């Protein structure tokens, strides 16, 4: 379960299997397979899919199923969950699923864990009731899960596929609190810069400060996920990023939409208030040409001390999304660990 620190920057992928405007869940999942194959060939290190429920624009609601398919479709990539939302599941089921995945794809599976609900309250309540989700603390649920991977000799209940098939376990978070918890437990930590960019430096510092060596991880091991829109020019990238900016604006205005096309975003009649709101909230998306994106990624590496960036790319057209990852892959030799 140990991944040692390395001297080169690793680039990885976070893919929500987005169902963009005018598309379907079937096409979104096919796009994920295509993107996984592309990034496998480009040299990306890992490919994670998250758990979401009842979100119109997200097809990755069953990570374990999708992970197996992506692992079968690729040769080298580590494939994992970014992440499984542990309170939504009985820990034994998670251990059985990911023990099975590790047994089928040895050395290529990651298990990322989160505690967020993964959807609106009414949807999450259907997945698992509040009473079941809160019957044990997250720490107790985590202990139970870890116990299934390394059970005591007299354990009455065993997650059979998990024994001897242990994937690296990551804790996901977007705050210094989650970072410190991961450090105290001696786990790998993945910080969501794309959700809370302002806390990145403080959270990664809190992780290192709190870190205690464990059987799983002997030294601090973290990655930072970032939203990136790369194109051949700054102007093209800004145009492509219009899609996610209109989506964010629509959510602020109380209208949840699927990711619109850049053509639709460019034609939208923005008011001055709209433009001010977009400017205030657009800092989490690193946008531009390869040169511009390289500077932004290096600044993020320097701020956090990270040596791995996990890239999520909110672009409407799949061909443009592929191109963005191709351009980011070309930056690997220009980036240095923080």
CB 310 within 8 A of CB 190: yes
pLDDT value at residue 281: 83
Rounded to whole angstroms, the Cα distance separating 15 from 154 reads 40
What's the topology of domain 10-228+287-334?
Answer: TIM Barrel (3.20.20)
Instruction: Output b/e per residue, 36-59; b: 16+ Cβ within 10 A.
Output: bbbbbebebbbbbbbbbbebebbb
**pTM recorded for the entire structure:** 0.95
CB 247 within 8 A of CB 257: yes
User: What are the counts of helices (DSSP H) followed by strands (DSSP E) for the chain?
Assistant: 13, 9
What are 20-51's pLDDT values in tens digits?
A: 999 999 999 999 999 999 999 999 999 999 99
pLDDT value at residue 3: 55
pLDDT value at residue 123: 83
pLDDT value at residue 4: 52
Q: Which residues of the chain have pLDDT under 70?
A: 1-6
- 3-state secondary structure (DSSP) of residue 22: coil
pLDDT value at residue 5: 55
What are 59-114's pLDDT values in tens digits?
A: 999 999 999 999 999 999 999 999 999 999 999 999 999 999 999 999 999 999 99
Alpha helices in 227-271, H assignment, sequence order:
234-252, 262-267
Every domain of the chain and the residues it spans: 10-228+287-334
C-alpha distance from residue 45 to each of 14, 36, 42, 87, 218 (Å): 11, 11, 9, 28, 21
């Amino acid at each position: 379960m140990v991944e040692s620190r390395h001297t080169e920057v690793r680039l990885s992928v976070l893919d929500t299997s987005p169902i963009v405007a005018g598309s379907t869940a079937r096409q979104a999942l096919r796009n994920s397979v295509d993107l996984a194959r592309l990034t496998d060939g480009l040299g990306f290190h890992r490919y994670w899919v998250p758990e979401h429920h009842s979100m119109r624009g997200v097809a990755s609601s069953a990570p374990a199923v999708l992970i197996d398919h992506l692992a079968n479709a690729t040769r080298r990539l580590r494939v994992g969950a970014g992440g499984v939302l542990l309170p939504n599941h009985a820990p034994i089921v998670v251990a059985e699923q990911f023990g099975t995945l590790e047994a089928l794809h040895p050395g290529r599976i990651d298990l990322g864990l989160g505690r967020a609900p993964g959807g609106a309250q009414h949807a999450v309540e259907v997945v698992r009731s509040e009473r079941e989700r809160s019957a044990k603390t997250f720490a107790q649920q985590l202990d139970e899960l870890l116990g299934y991977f390394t059970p005591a000799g007299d354990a009455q209940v065993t997650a059979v596929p998990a024994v001897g098939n242990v994937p690296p376990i990551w804790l996901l978070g977007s705050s210094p609190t989650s970072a410190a918890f991961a450090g105290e437990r001696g786990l790998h930590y993945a910080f969501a810069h794309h959700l809370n960019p302002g806390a990145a430096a403080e959270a990664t510092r809190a992780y290192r400060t709190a870190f205690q060596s464990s059987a799983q991880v002997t030294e601090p091991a973290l990655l930072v996920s970032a939203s990136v829109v790369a194109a051949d020019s700054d102007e093209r990238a800004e145009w492509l990023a219009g899609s996610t900016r209109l989506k964010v604006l629509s959510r602020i205005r109380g209208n949840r939409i699927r990711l619109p096309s850049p053509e639709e975003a460019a034609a939208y009649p923005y008011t001055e208030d709209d433009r001010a709101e977009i400017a205030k909230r657009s800092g989490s998306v690193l946008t531009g040409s390869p040169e511009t994106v390289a500077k932004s990624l290096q600044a993020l590496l320097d701020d956090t001390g990270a040596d791995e960036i996990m890239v999520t790319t909110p672009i409407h057209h799949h061909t443009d999304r592929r191109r963005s990852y191709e351009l980011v892959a070309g930056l690997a030799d220009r980036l240095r660990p923080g």
